Structure 1
Amino acid sequence: MASIIDYMKKNKDTSFDDLALNDADILSLNEIGYIPFGEVLEPAFDLSQELTLRDVLEHYEGKRDKLDYNFIMTKERVDLLEEMISSQRFADLRLSHYVNDVDNELEKQFAAMIFRIPKINHTQIVFRGTDDTMVGWKEDFKLTYMREIPAHRSAIAYLKNYLSLHEDKVLVSGHSKGGNLAVYAVSHLPSELQDKIAQVYMFDAPGLHEAEVTLQSYQNIRDRLKVIRPEESIVGVMLNIDVEQEVVESQSFGVFQHAATRWQVSEETGDFVPAEKPTDLSLNLQQTFKQWTDELSSQELKALFDTVFDNLIDNGFLSLNELSHFNRESATTLFNVFNSLNAINEDKKNLMSKSAKLFFAAFAGNFKVAKIEAPKLNLPALPDFPDWEEIKSKFDKK
C-alpha cells in the first residue's frame, strides 16, 4: 500500500501531461497547508504576494535538523513538502494570500492560503484544520451547538475577497475543521461567485447543521462536493452532509486514521484505494454523536465545553503541545484544573455527569471490536469529582 509520500516519490519527475492532476496531488497540496509558512518564512518574505516555493525554501536548506516538530508540523508533512518542492512535477508551485489568525478574545483559529500551478492553470484554496491551540479546539466543539463560528465568517470573507478579483475557476479544500470551513464558506457565497468554484474537497471533515443542508445556497454547490473519509473516521462523522462519501483505506487505525498522510493511494493513478465499508466503530460513533447532540440542548453543550476549555485556558494550558509535555509543573497545573472543576456549581456538575454518561452509554451499547460485541452497560450514577488537593499532596510527598 502506498501513501501520498510514496506516490510523490514515484511521480516526482512525471509531468502533468503524462499523469493528470488527481486526488493524490490535491490531498498533497492540502496537507502542506498545515506547514506554518508564516513562522518559517516571515519576515523575510511577504506571504500575501505570490512566491515560488522552491525559490524561497532554498534559503532554509540544511536547517531541517533544527525544526521543532509539533501537532501540525509533523515529520510526514515536512517529508511531503520536501518531495514536492524538489520535484519537476511541482517545480513552479506558488504560494500566496497566506493568513493565520488566532484570536483568543473572539475564540477564533483561522488559517488559509492559495496554491497555484501555473502550467496547468490549477488554483487551490486551502483552509487549514485545527492547530494545537486550545482556542482552536474550543472553536471546533462550538460546531456542535452553533450554526456559525467565528472562523466561518473569516472563511466567507477570504473567498469573497479572492474570487471577486480573479476570473479563473478554483478548487477549495480542507481537512478536518478546514473541510467544514470550505463547504460552509462556499455554500454562503452569492451565486455569481459560486459559479467560480470547480470543486470542494472535504477530507475527513465534520458536516453541517441540519438547517444548513436545507439551504438553497448549499444545494447549489452540492454536486461539486467530494467527501473523503478513512474507514475508521471519527472526526468526519460529526454533524450532517447529504452526499455520498468516498471511504478509503489507511495504514493506521482508530483516531490515527485522521492523519491523511497515512491514507492509501495508487502510485500509478493517484486515486484513493477504496475501503470495503466504514468500520463498526465509525458507524457507531456517528450514531452516538447524533444522540449526544439530539439529547443535549445548545445551552447545555455550550456550558459543558465552556467549563472544560475555560478551566484549561485559565490554568495556563494554551495548546495541546503544553499538555503533551507532562512534568511536575504541568501536573500541578492539571491538579488545579480538576480542583476548579470540583468547585463548579451543582447544575454544571450534573451536566458534565449527564454528558459523560450519555456519550459512553450510547457508544458502549453498540460497540464492537473484532466482531466481539461488548455488553451493554447500565452505568451507575457518577460520583462527585475527587478531592484533587488530597491527591496532589500525596504526589508532592513522593
Structure 2
Amino acid sequence: MNTIFEYLEWRGDLPVDKVPFNDVDAAILARFSYEPFDGIVPASFRQSVSVMQACHEMLNLPDLEKKVLVPKDDIRLIQLMSKSARFNKMKMSGFINDIDIERQTQFAAVVFELDGEGNYYVAYRGTDDTLIGWKEDLNMGFEFPVPGQVAALDYFESARMGLKEGTFIVGGHSKGGNLSIYASAFATCNCQDSILAIYNFDGPGFTEDLMLREQYLAIESKIHTYVPQFSVVGMILEHMEQYSVVSSNGAGIMQHELLTWEVNKDGFVCLDTVDKESRFIDHTLKDWIGSLSMEERSSFVDTVYRLLTSGDKKSVTQFGENKIGTANALLKTYSSLDDKTKRALRETFFKLVKSAGNTFTQKR
C-alpha cells in the first residue's frame, strides 16, 4: 500500500506550478504542521523561512525524537520534505503554539506560501500529546465556541491582514480540520471571498444548529472532508457536507494518523463507506451524547480530566512511563471524589453501555 511517503518520492520533484496543488498535498502540510517549529519558524507574518531551512534546523535538534509524535515516521517525513522540490521552497511564517491550562486550550497554526505569487495554505494543528488538548476536543460536545475556535478565527483574520493580498487554502487534521471550517465560516466576507478550499482531515463535525447558520452555508461548497475507513474522531458530532472515505493500512483507531492513508499519484484511494465497526461506534456515541444534558456532558468531561491529570500528568505519553504510579494516582483521585460526582460518573458510563446495547439491537 502506498502512503504519503511514497507520494513524496513520486511527486517530490514536481513543483506546484508544474502540477497543481491537490488534496494529498493539503494532507501533507496538515500533518507537517505537527512538527516542532518553535524557535525556527517566525511568529510574524512579515518574516519567513523556507521549508528546507526549517527541516534542516529540526533535524539538527539534539532532542528531536522527544518533540515529535512518532519519531521514526516524523523524522522520515522531515527528511523527505527537505529534499522535495514540490515543498522545500515554500515559505513558512506566522507560527503560533499556545497551550493554556487555565483557558483549557491547545492551539497551533502556521502559514505556507505555496508559490511566491500570493497563494497561501493556512494549516491548523490538531490535538497534540497534551491532555488539555484532548479536553478541549471533548469540550466541543457542550461548549461553543471553544477557545481554540476563537483563536483560529483571530489567526486567520490576522494572516489575511499581515500577508500580501492573495488567495487561501485552509486546512487541518483532527481538531485542526474543525478549526479550519470554523475560522472560514465566521471570517469576514472579504476574508471568505479569498478562500479557495477548506480541508478537514478526520476532524470533528459541528452541531446541526451551527451547520444551518448562514455563515456555515456560505462556505459549505468549499469544504473537502476526508475520513479513514475506521473513523472515530471524524464521526464526532455532525457533518452536513459530503465526505470521502480513504483506505488506510492502520489498525483501528491508528487510522486517524494521516501517514497511514493510501494514496495514488493524483489523490487518495477512496472507498464507498466507513467500515461497520466505525458505524457502530458512531451510532453509539451519537446516541450516548444525545442522552446527556449539557450539564451532564460538562460534569463528565471535567471529572474524567481530573482523573487523568492526577499525579501531575500533563500528556498522554506520561501514562506509559510509570503504570503502577499512574494507577495509584487514579485510584487516589477517584477515592477523593464526593459521592454525588462518583454517582454521576457511574450513571454516565451506564448510559454509554446502554447506548452500545441500543445500537447493537438496531443493527441486528
Q: How would you bin the TM-score normalised by the shorter chain?
A: over 0.9
| Cα 1:11–1:112 shift into 2, 3 Å | same
Provide the C-alpha distance between the structure 2 equivalents of 1:228 and 1:272, rounded to a whole number of angstroms. 9
Aligned to 1:172: 170
Q: In the superposition, relative to structure 1, how do residues 84 and 367 fare at CA in structure 2: closer, same or farther (>3 Å)? A: farther
Secondary structure of the 1:37 match is coil
Q: 1:298 — aligned with what? A: 294
Cα shift readout 1:201-222 (whole Å, capped 9, x = no counterpart)? 0000000122211110111001
Aligned position for 1:387: none
Alignment partners' CA distance in 2, 1:120 and 1:73: 34
Choose which of 155, 159, 180 in structure 2 pairs with 1:158: 155
CA distance in 2, matches of 1:55, 1:185: 29
Q: Relative to structure 1, is the Cα distance of residues 86 and 120 closer, same or farther in structure 2, using a 3 angstrom cutoff?
A: farther
Give 2:235's aligned residue: 237
Indicate whether 1:360 and 2:360 are aligned. no
Residues 68 and 74, structure 2, Cα contact 8 Å, conserved in 1: no
Give per-residue Cα distances to partners, 1:190-239, cap 9 Å, x unaligned.
22211111111000000012221111011100100001000110100000
More moved, 347-356 vs 317-326: 347-356
Supply the distance in 1 between the matched residues of 2:29 and 2:156 (Cα, whole angstroms). Answer: 18
1:19 counterpart = 2:19: yes
1:18 deviates by 4.6
- Cα pair distance change 1:333/1:84, threshold 3 Å: closer
TM-fit CA distance, 1:306: 0.8
> Based on CA coordinates, which of the two structures has the bigger radius of gyration?
1
Alignment-derived partner of residue 339 in structure 1: 332
Q: Which deviations, in whole Å up to 9, do the C-alpha atoms of 1:274-331 show, x marking residues without a partner?
A: 113111111122211211121111111111111121233252111111112135xxx2
How far did residue 365 of structure 1 move? 4.5
Deviation at 1:359, TM superposition (A): 1.6
**2:279 matched to 1:275?**
no
Query: How far apart, in 1, do the equivalents of 2:174 and 2:315 lie?
Result: 18
Residue aligning to 2:206: 208
C-alpha contact (below 8 Å) 2:130/2:316 kept by paired residues: yes
Asked if the contact 1:109/1:151 (under 8 Å) is kept, the reply is yes
1:1-398 paired onto structure 2 within 5 Å: 1-38=1-38, 42=39, 46-48=42-44, 49-59=47-57, 61=59, 63=60, 66-69=63-66, 72=69, 74-119=71-116, 121-165=118-162, 166-266=164-264, 268-269=265-266, 271-327=267-323, 331-366=324-359
Distance 2:15 2:336 in 1: 63
Q: 1:168 to 1:50 in 2, by over 3 A?
A: same
State the alpha-carbon separation in 1 of the partners of residues 360 and 91 from structure 2.
46
Q: In structure 2, give the amino acid aligned to 1:169.
A: T
Change (3 A) 1:359 1:82: same
SS in 2 for 1:202: strand
- Give the whole-Å Cα distance in 1 for the aligned partners of 2:331 and 2:226: 38
In the TM superposition, residue 247 of structure 1 has moved relative to its aligned partner by: 0.6
The percent identity for this pair of structures is 27
Contact 2:58-2:64 at 8 Å conserved across structures:
no
Q: Report the CA distance between 1:347 and its aligned residue.
A: 2.5
Further displaced range: 10-19 or 107-116: 10-19
Cα-to-partner distance string for 1:60-114 (whole Å, 9 max, x where unaligned):
55x4785324663543233122112212222312110000000111111000000
AA aligned opposite 1:186? S
Unaligned runs of 5+ in 2: none
Please, which runs of 5 or more residues in structure 1 have no aligned partner? 376-398
TM-score normalised by length of structure 2: 0.92
How far, CA to CA, are the matches of 1:241 and 1:45 in structure 2? Answer: 34
Given that 1:230 and 1:263 are in contact with CA atoms closer than 8 Å, whether structure 2 keeps it comes out as: yes
Q: Distance in 1 between matches of 2:257 and 2:283?
A: 22
TM norm structure 1? 0.85
- 1:125-149 deviations in whole A, cap 9, x for unaligned? 0110011111111111101111211
- For 1:45 and 1:174, how far apart are their aligned partners in 2? 18
CA positional deviation for 1:263: 0.4
Residues 287 and 70 of structure 1: CA distance in aligned 2, closer, same or farther (over 3 Å): farther
Q: Is the 8 A contact 2:41 2:48 kept in 1?
A: no
